[in-house]
């Protein structure tokens, strides 16, 4: 029996009301289009990552407990396997982030794995329409990004403790809650239940100085488990804290932040859409590496150089990359390599196009790739550090010295794929096709892509899950 004696009217309730209020007819066309772009990129990344050790290990772990079975509700994309909604969202989230090819918001999180695969799993459970799916994706992005902004720690505090996972699960709550048809009271409870389930802010414990790096990385998978279950519990009347976002003891304290700006929770809701601020990655490597790769390729094209023409590469970066040892010349596995600037630069110097194959043994174990890594030096650049700390811009200044002694320099403030320098739809399609071929035959991949571009018109959103299976 519901206990409705307490009916708070603070920020938590306002955000719950807003989470339920989004409708496509109130969204600009560019926002609807961006929601489909986010869905395409996220599914592409999961398909491309399905053969990685991260996904295969997660599959085995879930199968060990009977969570993966033929009669389950939700699809694990690219595998032909199914699981309960929360577990399918978990494995698909692991796949989305496995190659570090997924987009997000700089210094705030990789949202797609949580948003899209929580929505897809619950779409299969509820058999919702494509329109409802797109509405849930937009609402999830808008609510969780605002919680992230409102609770972001100062740069000084962030160096001590921070993490992307804690606030990200609110996206799963919003998506699941909408598709389950929660009312405002139950959504408020779901917010509170999720916050008590939320993962710790763990990025300081990624093993930066004790590699190999942790495979949990950006924590996009576990928040889906907590968020989906919070919504399911709330649907059945389970009570949670109803003022989880308010006051001096609110969620911001729980996620170990040192500041909170409650005005940012609802600022611009319905008129300013954060989903338009997302970046999409051009390369399967950490976002902080992207600008440096753009700069290297600019120089190589300018001089028509190949790897053999390059004697040395110096990359000027922000302090975070230096402190977290992005100058890693001996990555243990694909996750280490995703956070190694020398590895990423070596791969592009050897002329490799971006794609899931970057971490296949033929490249990862290549003596030539490893030798070229030694040409790369990473240094702190004050101008790039100022951009990073002041404006959250992950740029780079690259100086390439040729074997002929000449020196070429390039600076990139906004990497290709940033909101200020976006991937085109055609480039996004190419990224999708390169990743999808890892798991799907070409005809099925094309059929899936066509449906994703008209997602809001589908009678059942589960049609895309069937094609991605």
pLDDT in tens, 10-47: 999 999 999 999 999 999 999 999 999 999 999 999 99
Give the mean model confidence (pLDDT) for residues 430-449: 98
Neighbours of 3 (CB within 10 A): 10
**Structure confidence at residue 293 (pLDDT):** 98
Neighbours of 341 (CB within 10 A): 27
Helices (H), 65-164: 85-98, 112-126, 130-150, 155-158
Architecture of domain 287-412: 2-Layer Sandwich (3.30)
Q: How far is the C-alpha of 40 from the C-alpha of 115, rounded, in Å?
A: 12
pLDDT in tens, 225-282: 999 999 999 999 999 999 999 999 999 999 999 999 999 999 899 899 999 999 999 9
Domain boundaries, given as residue ranges, for the chain: 11-281+435-468, 287-412
Architecture of domain 11-281+435-468: Orthogonal Bundle (1.10)
CB 336 within 8 A of CB 212: yes
Residues of the chain above pLDDT 90, percent: 89
How many Å is the maximal CA-CA distance in the chain?
79
pLDDT band at 223 (very low <50, low <70, confident <90, very high): very high
C-alpha closest to that of 14 among 185, 266, 186: 266
The tokens 């550090």 sit on which residue? 385
Give the mean model confidence (pLDDT) for residues 304-325: 96
**Structure confidence at residue 8 (pLDDT):** 55
pLDDT in tens, 127-159: 999 999 999 999 999 999 999 999 999 888 888
pTM for the predicted model, two decimal places: 0.95
Residues of the chain above pLDDT 70, percent: 98
pLDDT band at 189 (very low <50, low <70, confident <90, very high): very high
Residue 333 to residues 336, 339, 360, 394, Cα–Cα distance (Å): 5, 10, 10, 24
């Amino acid at each position: 029996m519901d206990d409705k004696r307490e009916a708070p009217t603070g920020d938590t309730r306002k955000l719950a009301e807003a989470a339920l209020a989004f409708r496509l007819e109130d969204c600009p066309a560019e926002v609807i289009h961006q929601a489909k772009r986010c869905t395409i990129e996220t599914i592409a990344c999961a398909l491309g990552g399905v053969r990685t050790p991260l996904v295969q290990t997660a599959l085995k772990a879930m199968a060990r407990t009977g969570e993966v079975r033929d009669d389950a509700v939700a699809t694990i994309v690219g595998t032909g396997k199914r699981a309960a909604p929360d577990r399918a969202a978990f494995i698909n989230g692991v796949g989305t982030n496995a190659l570090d090819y997924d987009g997000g918001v700089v210094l705030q999180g990789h949202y797609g794995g949580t948003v899209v695969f929580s929505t897809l799993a619950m779409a299969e459970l509820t058999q919702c329409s494509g329109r409802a799916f797109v509405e849930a994706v937009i609402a999830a992005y808008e609510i969780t990004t605002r919680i992230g902004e409102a609770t972001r720690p100062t740069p000084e505090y962030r160096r001590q403790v921070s993490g992307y996972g804690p606030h990200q699960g609110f996206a799963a709550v919003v998506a699941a809650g909408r598709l389950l048809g929660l009312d405002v009271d139950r959504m408020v409870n779901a917010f509170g239940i999720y916050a008590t389930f939320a993962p710790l802010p763990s990025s300081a414990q990624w093993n930066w100085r004790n590699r190999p790096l942790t495979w949990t990385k950006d924590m996009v998978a576990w928040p889906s488990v907590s968020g989906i279950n919070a919504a399911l519990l709330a649907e059945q009347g389970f009570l949670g804290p109803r003022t989880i976002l308010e006051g001096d003891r609110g969620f911001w304290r729980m996620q170990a932040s040192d500041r909170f700006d409650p005005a940012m929770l609802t600022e611009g809701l319905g008129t300013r859409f954060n989903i338009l601020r997302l970046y999409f990655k051009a390369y399967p490597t950490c976002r902080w590496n992207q600008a440096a790769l753009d700069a290297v390729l600019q120089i190589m094209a300018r001089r028509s150089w190949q790897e053999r023409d390059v004697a040395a590469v110096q990359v000027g970066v922000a302090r975070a990359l230096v402190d977290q040892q992005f100058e890693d010349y001996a990555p243990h596995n694909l996750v280490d390599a995703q956070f190694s600037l020398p590895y990423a630069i070596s791969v592009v110097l050897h002329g490799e196009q971006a794609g899931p194959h970057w971490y296949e043994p033929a490249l990862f174990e290549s003596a030539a790739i490893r030798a070229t890594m030694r040409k790369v030096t990473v240094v702190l650049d004050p101008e790039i550090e100022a951009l990073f700390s002041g404006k959250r811009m992950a740029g780079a200044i690259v100086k390439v010295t040729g074997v002929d002694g000449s020196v070429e320099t390039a600076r990139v403030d906004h990497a290709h794929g940033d909101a200020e320098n976006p991937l085109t739809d055609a480039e996004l399609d190419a990224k999708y096709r390169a990743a999808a071929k890892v798991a799907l035959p070409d005809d099925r991949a094309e059929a899936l892509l066509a449906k994703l571009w008209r997602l809001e018109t589908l009678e059942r959103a589960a049609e895309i899950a069937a094609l991605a299976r």
